[in-house]
Structure 1
């Protein structure tokens, strides 16, 4: 028995590729924002602590769907003004860019807490050892703190990424043709909602399984030196 997709197979494949691109783009933005937020919250400088805490609290307090809508529709006037200044009338933020910014912003807010917990889990003696060796603060951060933080934070970041992949479905409301948008179009044309929504569910499940395999490989690789030391 073969599954009849009414000719929408290639469209669903294209939607899957768009979902992967969106998830990876938002992940890149979110990791940078999360790391900066964590460094700000663990900084001894009070204004930076306030800035990191405000970002984390504000973004996590608003649903992801609202951030998608606010960023997509809220930048219309800003982009129009920028376009006029650059001599490019009609300049606008497309759905992919808006989705990347919105989902990256949300991922970064949650990643801030993951990174912060990982940084605080590193013994203070490691920093003191770096200072005793004459290392600068920047070298201590890049050579001692971040490699250990990555290993500790990786499981939490992996869980956030799996949530992020499913949150890409929210961007369908602003017209980005990812998996859910393509499925909705197929349902409208074929009048077979169960078939296409079930196919979409299996696609998301497949992507989640692939992400879990990749996460397992990264965790194993990140923990190699630590396991040898523990032995």
Structure 2
């Protein structure tokens, strides 16, 4: 015997229409529950990442600022060491070249975390022992200064090789012409070597800058307050590990994207007067 048609939907039998109604009700309830959960989750994440208490967004931004300070200081120190090291390797005496070769080989061979632990603890201890031996009181080394010194020492070894390669890429005719005009080594460096080597050095130095921004996270192991340590503290208190470490990753990514934009402008400026890559092809 055929089932009676549904009064509200004559096309389908009554039992089929009731089944569809239950399915629609279940799907509507599920969608409502998911929307409520997503709204609550978004509100919770917004509250956690708020820059105002009880949010931890301000803490992350302070940590990011400290990371940028260390990376800037370490990069500048590394450039100074690298410029001197490159000139020493190219134009120094045998002893200077051998010492610089040992320095660059050891720093590039030993993991950076090991170097940071060694230089941070052993370096500060040696400084205090030397001061005590000379009759002075022990000093507390600033965490910012120690972080810049440690990462700058590491960056200097890599910068030495990058700048040395860039100097070797300069056409030797320019340097020989400057020497024929009687330029002193300092004037030759300022007017010929540095401007000519910039287009060759910037790509490698840009990579070192991006590495320095990430290497600041290694200083968390010695207790310096930067983005990685701030993220770990916020996640430990709130137990929202995924939220905060994902937010830290986004901040590192934004810093890298902004750095790439600035580096691209600097590289274009350094190549002014030179044929473009499209013309070279």
**TM-score, normalised on structure 1?**
0.92
Q: Is the 8 A contact 1:30 1:111 kept in 2?
A: yes
Deviation at 1:177, TM superposition (A): 1.0
- More displaced 10-residue stretch of structure 1: 169-178 or 67-76: 67-76
Change (3 A) 1:199 1:52: same
Secondary structure of 2:274's partner?
A: helix
In structure 2, the partner of 1:129 is: 177
Deviation at 1:76, TM superposition (A): 3.9
Give the aligned CA root-mean-square deviation in angstroms.
1.9
In the alignment, the residues of structure 2 paired with residue 109 and residue 222 of structure 1 have an alpha-carbon distance, to the nearest angstrom, of 24
In structure 2, the partner of 1:187 is: 235
Unaligned runs of at least 5 residues, structure 2: 1-41, 49-53
Deviations 1:45-89 (A, max 9, x none): 222221221111111111111111111110343233355446444
Change (3 A) 1:94 1:55: same
**TM-score, normalised on structure 2?**
0.76
Q: Is the 8 A contact 1:95 1:171 kept in 2?
A: no
Q: How many residues align?
A: 229
Structure having the higher Rg: 2
Change (3 A) 1:120 1:182: same
In the alignment, the residues of structure 1 paired with residue 220 and residue 123 of structure 2 have an alpha-carbon distance, to the nearest angstrom, of 18
Larger RCO (CA within 8 A; separation ≥ 6)? 1
1:13-162 equivalent positions in 2, closer than 5 A: 13-43=61-91, 45-84=93-132, 85=134, 87-89=136-138, 91-162=139-210
Deviation at 1:224, TM superposition (A): 1.1
Secondary structure of 1:42's partner?
A: helix
